Amino acid sequence: MLQKMYDWIDERLDITPIWRDIADHEVPEHVNPAHHFSAFVYCFGGLTFFVTVIQVLSGMFLTMYYVPDIVNAWESVKYLQTQVAHGQIVRGMHHWGASVVIVMIFLHTLRVFFQGAYKKPRELNWIVGVLLFFVMLGLGFTGYLLPWDNKAFFATQVGLEIAESVPFIGGDLKTLLAGDPEIVGAKTLARFFAIHVFFLPAALFALMGAHFIMIRRQGISGPL
């Protein structure tokens, strides 16, 4: 049945070469854990991507109930966690996944660093990777405020003061982030929500696209 549907579409649109081009590539022996168990270190990049997918999906579903408003934010999080079916699991995935993704990025970075895989011709991909790391930290920072509990509020207070400590532009930077020179409040929450669900994910997807195109073009670095 499925095969027939696929054939029907393929006969008209010739889609096989499109996905073949993406799917067909050799996995070199030195990155295959079945050959050398120590090759599991090559999994961290893929695991980062896997956890990112979980973050995107669980985040999409969370916005079905969450509202970025200082009166209702905390109540809506409480409601979705305690009253909605599987709410604790879905919020838990997003909460713990946020930490796991940072850990995975860090392990992936360590592997690339200690294997010297960032060297020519892969310097550009290293730079994109570092940008991805910053975007991910930004997602963590902005997402932390959204439940609008005490921990969120004071962590953001501290984060904003760190931004303020930047020479010359610190004050403006803080105002830009918080949406107000003094208050951490309604405008801050709305802003952080927008950054968390629209701006940073857009940057994340663009950078991930570049990251993957480059690795496919250049191949995985050779054995040590």
Partner 1 sequence: MADKKNQVSRRQFLNYTLTGVGGFMGAAMIAPMVGFAVDPLLKGEKDTDYVYVMDVNEITNEPQRKTFQVDQVDGWYESKVDRTAWVYKDENDEILALSPVCTHLGCTVDWNSNQDFPNEFYCPCHDGRYDKNGVNIPGTPPTEPLHSYDFQIQDGKLMLGKAKARKGA
Cβ atoms within 10 Å of 27's Cβ, excluding its own: 12
**Residue type present at position 185:** G
Of the two residues 76 and 142, which places its CB atom closer to partner 1 in the complex?
A: 76
70: tokens are 């200082």
Of the two residues 147 and 159, which places its CB atom closer to partner 1 in the complex?
A: 147
Of the two residues 87 and 159, which places its CB atom closer to partner 1 in the complex?
A: 87
Q: Which residues bind partner 1 (CB under 8 A)?
A: 54, 57-58, 61, 64-65, 72, 75-76, 78-80, 83-87, 89-90, 93
Q: Residue 77: exposed, middle, or buried by beta-carbon count in 10 A (0-12, 13-18, 19+)?
A: buried
CB 140 within 8 A of CB 106: no
Q: From the CB of 223, what's the least distance to partner 1, in Å?
A: 25
> For residues 73 and 129, what is the distance between their CA atoms, to the nearest angstrom?
33
Q: From the CB of 105, what's the least distance to partner 1, in Å?
A: 20
Of the two residues 68 and 159, which places its CB atom closer to partner 1 in the complex?
A: 68
Q: From the CB of 83, what's the least distance to partner 1, in Å?
A: 8
90: tokens are 């879905």
